[in-house]
Amino acid sequence: MLSLVLGSATHSFELMLSAFILGLALGAWAIRRRVDRAPNPVRLLGKIQVAMGLAALASLPLYLTTFWVMPSLVTDLPGGPGAYAWFNLSKYGLCLVVMLPATVLAGMTLPVITGTLLHSGYGERSIGRVYGINTIGSVVGAALAGLLALPLLGLKGLVVAGAALDIALGVWVLDRAAAWAGTSRRPAGVLALGAGAATVAVMLGVVLEPALLTSGVFRHGRIPESGDSELLFYRHGRTATVAVQVYASDPVVTKGGGMGQGILLVEGDLDLRGGFLFYGSIIVQGNFETQGNGNRIIGAVMASNGLLDDQSIAGGSEITYSKCTIQRAILNNSSLSRARPLELRSWVDLSAVTN
């Protein structure tokens, strides 16, 4: 999720993991004394569970805002000594904004559960059981979410489904707490209706545009404009988000820049005139030409003028063949409804063509 904003480099994952662990630690620390003073710890657990689900729902609109903040970090932060440290600290701030509310609440759950069991006379063995079940549930949940649910539900669907599960569990715990205490169970029902309305509002109101998610803002510092392309294929896979777009049916001419990643399909000609950067595979139905300086493609190029010469590749242009990019494109695009076998063309291996 956040890798689409921060990138998938090691430092980015370190920031995400740190934010997650920090949230758990802060939550456990914040609840440490209230467990003993709570008149009804089971009701407290239910409230925390519902709040955690609502925080997960709130993370989606917060997540969208990070796409608009990231370009300014890439382009506006001053260079020089210490610039990368400030860049990482800024990215860490984005992680905390999105992750901290839900993870702090998640960190409260285990202390409340173990404290309640101990005060109820279940003994220390119950703590081991709780932590064991929690560990098994984390492993199974991560596997099911990443390998099955994410490809089926998509990113937004998975987050909303997880939040709804948290809310439903919390409402059930509140209902049980009211029943055991002999109090009214109506508040749990009212809370269920309100949380359900919030879930529907987020599901319908928050739109994760594929063009935005695959824009690579962490690399380019630029948000694509709407209507720039036609989306042919988009899917959140087990290890990557794959998008295939057609950018134009007429000749495409880039002047003074242009950035992208993934698979670029151009039904006409493609003429790069300086400062164009692309990571992935470019397929051009017409002719492919470059002019000016700073054109750089990491991946592969296929065009009708397959025997590219010095007249086609002019100026300071670099095309670096990447086998990994092509393999991922082939493996993840088997469901393309408009894909056709290529009989007359094959991939052209070009490397550092510079005049």
State the Cα–Cα distance between residues 51 and 330, nearest whole angstrom: 42
User: 149 φ, ψ to 5°?
Assistant: -70, -40
Report, as an integer, the average pLDDT of 193-211: 85
Residue 188 has pLDDT above 60, yes or no: yes
263-296 pLDDT, tens digit per residue, is 777 777 887 777 777 777 788 878 887 777 777 7
**Angle between the N-to-C axes of helices 83-119 and 125-144, in degrees from 0 to 180, rounded to the nearest 10:** 130
**pTM above the 0.75 mark?**
no
Indicate whether 203 and 162 sit together in one domain: yes
Q: Coil, strand or helix: which one is 292?
A: coil
Look at residue 224 in the predicted model and tell me its pLDDT: 67
Q: Which two tokens stand for residue 216?
A: 């690579």
Which residue matches tokens 């409402």? Answer: 171
Please indicate whether residue 240 or residue 176 has the higher confidence score (pLDDT).
176
Indicate whether 166 and 304 sit together in one domain: no
Indicate whether 22 and 78 sit together in one domain: yes
Residue 219 has pLDDT above 50, yes or no: yes
Q: Is 3 exposed, middle or buried (0-12, 13-18, 19+ CB in 10 A)?
A: middle
Which residue matches tokens 């860049």? Answer: 87
Asked if 40 and 161 count as a contact pair (C-beta separation under 8 A), the reply is no
Look at residue 127 in the predicted model and tell me its pLDDT: 86
Indicate whether 157 and 236 sit together in one domain: no
79-93 pLDDT, tens digit per residue, is 777 788 888 888 889
Q: Which of 346, 265, 246 is nearest to 306 (CA)?
A: 346
Indicate whether 21 and 93 sit together in one domain: yes
Q: What is the residue-wise DSSP string for 17-81?
A: HHHHHHHHHHHHHHHTTHHHH-S-HHHHHHHHHHHHHHHHHHHHHHHHHHHHHHHHHHHHS--ST
124-134 pLDDT, tens digit per residue, is 888 888 889 98
Partners of 259 in beta bridges: 277
The count of domains in the chain is: 2
**Alpha helices (H) along 185-303:** 186-205, 210-213, 217-220
State the Cα–Cα distance between residues 157 and 161, nearest whole angstrom: 6
Look up residue 211 and give its amino acid.
Answer: A
Look at residue 347 in the predicted model and tell me its pLDDT: 40
Indicate whether 36 and 182 sit together in one domain: yes
Assign 353 a pLDDT band (cuts: 50, 70, 90). very low
Domain around 113: 3-208
Indicate whether 140 and 263 sit together in one domain: no
Q: What is the mean pLDDT of the chain?
A: 77
Indicate whether 191 and 306 sit together in one domain: no
Residue 162 has pLDDT above 60, yes or no: yes
**Angle between the N-to-C axes of helices 186-205 and 150-181, in degrees from 0 to 180, rounded to the nearest 10:** 160
Indicate whether 178 and 240 sit together in one domain: no
